[in-house]
Amino acid sequence: MWRNLLFIIILFFSVSAFSAEKTGWGWGGIPAINYNADDGFGYGAILNIFNYSDVGYEPYYIKLNPTFFMTTGGKQDHTLYFDSPYLLRNGWRFNIRLRYKNEEYFPYYGLGNDSEYNSSYIEVNDDDNSLDSLHGKHYYTQQSEQVKFIANFQKALVLRKNKKPLISLLIGYGFINVNNELNKNEGITTKVEEDINNNIITKKDFDGRFNSYAKFGLIYDTRDNEPAPNYGVWSEIVGELYSSVVVSETNFARITFTDRRYLQIFEKLVYANRIVIEKIIGDAPYSMYYPYGSSEKADEGLGGNRSLRGVLKNRYIGPEKFFINMELRYKFYDFNVFGQNFYIAANTFVDIGRVWHDDDKTGGFNNLHIGKGIGLHIGWNENFIAYADYGFGDEAEGQLYIDIGYLF
């Protein structure tokens, strides 16, 4: 693990050493490198490009965040994200996100919180051939192609003393176009195919739909520093309405509440906490159980680097979700290179959550799923932050995540 982290640090400095000061343009980036048995060797780049204007807007005037990622096994995941708190002026903030993702081995473990996983089903020998002739190494997968777009507009309704928004109104529009196919799996029936045959999910839902939605919400923000808060609160309630009125092929609603809190215990020690609660109302296709709603990045849930670190990616899906992230962050080393300010921070975390579905055997807050681990963050001028988190769960070996920014 630490050899990987050292490699990340070296590459980070090689990329960011020539970045500009906190006026005009600045940039930084890290390589996106990983390996797993399904996707093969992964390679790409994660970049952050900033413009602070001539007067040094905080946290920035414009941010552009392109991500390019491919694997030797055929996976593609490319994202372009644009954000500006000031471009539209008069208290309006605007961001857009466009993502294309094509996965030959997209996870599907079944519906609900009690879905079962047996690692022996997908074991392989030294020649990468399945050892279980009844299930096959791709039993828990499907092919999935997705195009996602979201445009968000935030209007400051109440300002703080520092003129930053305290309460903001959110409106937006987005779509998620999904196309799925079955994996061949050496001619063996996969888990998703079993569920189609048993009428647990419909063939129409599996094939995919065009899901478009109108978004609305309210945001409350008292954070001292947006990229890496030391203290404050960030809370939002967001609604997404999927309807034929906005040209959607599906009709349902998603309501999501998120609460983030930051407590500065000592000068360099911060406790960060995030709670997410979500409910889907109406007849949503199972592919819409994966993402959770947000005014920011709406990624896959429950399990993986955006929700339960150390838990298998997209391990649990259902129309209702709950998870909490608890994290200690300690900045233990500050230094200066070529007039640029840097810091290194360590973090330790525990993530807990579950979903609810009609097929669950256990209700309430029983059978909670837990991921835990440690990480390392490298910050440059308090704005560009690269990280590596290493998480552990009950079902998976250690999971390494490399990305930009804090999780929340």
Residue 73: the pLDDT is: 76
Copy the structure tokens of residue 236.
């939002």
pLDDT category at 5 given cuts 50, 70, 90 is very low
User: What is the DSSP-derived secondary structure letter of residue 13?
Assistant: H
Count the neighbouring beta carbons within 10 Å of the beta carbon of residue 180: 19
| Domain boundaries along the sequence of the chain | 2-404
Sort 86 into a burial class: Cβ within 10 Å, 0-12 / 13-18 / 19+: middle
pTM: 0.88
CATH 2.40.160.50 is right for the domain spanning 2-404: yes
Q: How far apart are CA 301 and CA 307, in angstroms?
A: 6
Residue in 4, 49, 58, 11 with CA at minimum distance from that of residue 30: 11
What per-residue confidence (pLDDT) applies to 2?
A: 42
Q: What mean pLDDT do residues 291-313 have?
A: 86
> Residue 201: its pLDDT value, please?
94
CA dihedral sign of residues 392, 399, 325, 242: negative
Greatest pairwise CA separation for the chain in angstroms: 66
Give the H/E segment covering residue 339.
Answer: none
**Model confidence pLDDT, tens digit, residues 195-218:** 999 999 999 999 989 999 999 999
Going by pLDDT thresholds of 50, 70 and 90, the confidence category of residue 335 is very high
Indicate if the pLDDT at residue 39 is higher than 80: no
